[in-house]
Structure 1
Amino acid sequence: MKDYIEERVLALAEYIVTTNSTVRAAAKRFKVSKSTVHKDVTERLQEISPSLAAQVKSVLDVNKAERHIRGGLATREKYNHIKEDE
């Protein structure tokens, strides 16, 4: 694995663990695609640091369990703004 990829993988993992970030937020922060973030933290990180990979997995599992709630809140906010504009 190339050095810059390994550095990115570790930086992504540290960011996700310290901020409890979602894959989408991490992708935006590091200016890479969500697919890249996902591949980095699920496949590549396991080879580099299994303990850090376990921490990232626990954060991503929590985010996955809560995503339906965030989606509902976002939809409610969207329609509240539409009502206010009318």
Structure 2
Amino acid sequence: MKDYIEERAVEVAYYIIETKATVRQAAKKFGISKSTVHKDCTERLRQIDAGLAAQAREVLDVNKSERHIRGGVATREKYRHLHELQERHV
């Protein structure tokens, strides 16, 4: 594996662990795809540092278990905002 890929995988993992970031947030921060973040944290990182991979996996698992809640909150906020805009224009 190329050095820059290993370095990126470690950096992404530390970012996810320190900030409790989602895969999507990490992808945006590093300018890579969600698939790349996932592969870095689940496959590549295991070969580089198994302990770090396990820590990152814990955060990703928590985020995955909570994603339906975040989606519901985002939808509620979207419609609340639209409702407020409609009230202003009536």
How many matched pairs? Answer: 86
Runs of 4+ aligned structure 1 residues displaced above 6 Å come to none
> TM-score, length-normalised on structure 1?
0.99
Which is higher, the Rg of structure 1 or of structure 2? Answer: 2
Structure 1: state its 5+ residue gaps: none
Residues 15-61 of structure 1: CA distance to partner in whole angstroms, max 9, x if unpaired? 00000100000000000000000000000000000000000110011
Is 1:31 the counterpart of 2:52 in the alignment?
no
The aligned counterpart of 1:73 is 73
Q: In percent, how many aligned pairs have the same letter? A: 66
The aligned counterpart of 1:64 is 64
Structure 2: state its 5+ residue gaps: none
Residue 85 of structure 1 aligns with an amino acid whose one-letter code is: L
Residue 49 of structure 1 aligns with an amino acid whose one-letter code is: D
Root mean square deviation of aligned Cα: 0.4
The aligned counterpart of 2:83 is 83
Residue 62 of structure 1 aligns with an amino acid whose one-letter code is: V
